[in-house]
Amino acid sequence: MADVARATFAIAGKLGMVVGLYGMVYDAVHLSAMHELLALAPGTTVVIDHFGCFREAGKSDDAHEHASLSLLDFAKYPKVHMKVSGWKRVSSVLGGARMSLRTDVVRCVERVVAAFTSKRTLWGSDAPLALLDGGMPPGHAAYQATIGTTYDEVCCDTDILLTASTLSAEERADLYYGTAKSLFRM
C-alpha cells in the first residue's frame, strides 16, 4: 500500500472525517490492507461498503462463509461501521432487480447487526444500480431500457424483508436513518 494512502487515512481520522472503504474481504490483499489501515489509525471512523463484498462469483458456499466471518471480524474495531448495501453482490439469487427476491441477504444483515450492533450498521439502497435488471448499462441511452423496478419498490421490498427478520423496530430505524444521522452528524 502506498505511503500516501496511509497518510491520507490517518489525516482523515485526525480531522474527524468518515472514510468509506470498498474492499473485497474474500481477497487476502484487500483484507490485509484494510486491517493495516485500521491498525495504523484506530481513531479513524470507517464505513465498509457493500457488506465488504464477501461473495465472490464462482466460489463455494464454504468460501463465502469464510469471507463473511472475516467481515464480521471488523466489528472488533469500535470506529468501524458496516453499510448493508450491494444486496445484488452478496445474494446467491442471480439476476432481477427486485429486492424481495433476495431473502438470503436478511440472514447476512442479522449477522452484521449481531456483530456490529445496529448503532454501527446502516442500510444503503444502491440506487441507481439496485433498479437495474442487469449490470450497469453501457451508456446513458441504454439506462431507461434496463430499469426493472423503482426506488420506492426497493425501499418497500427491503422494509418487508427486514420487518420479517429478527431485528427490532428500533434496530431497523437505526439501519434506515439513525446510524447515518449520528455518523454524519445530521
Is the Cβ–Cβ distance between 180 and 121 less than 8 Å?
A: no
Residue 128 sits in a domain whose CATH number is 3.20.20.140
pLDDT 10s digits, 123-162: 987 766 655 555 544 444 444 444 556 777 777 888 888 9
Separation between Cα atoms, residue 36 and residue 137, nearest integer Å: 35
Is the Cβ–Cβ distance between 120 and 179 less than 8 Å?
A: yes
**pTM for this model (two decimals):** 0.82
For residue 167, give Cα distances in angstroms to 11, 94, 124, 143: 36, 25, 17, 35
Which cell numbers in the block locate residue 50? 457493500
pLDDT value at residue 149: 63
How many structural domains are present in the chain? 1
What range does the domain containing 107 cover? Answer: 3-183
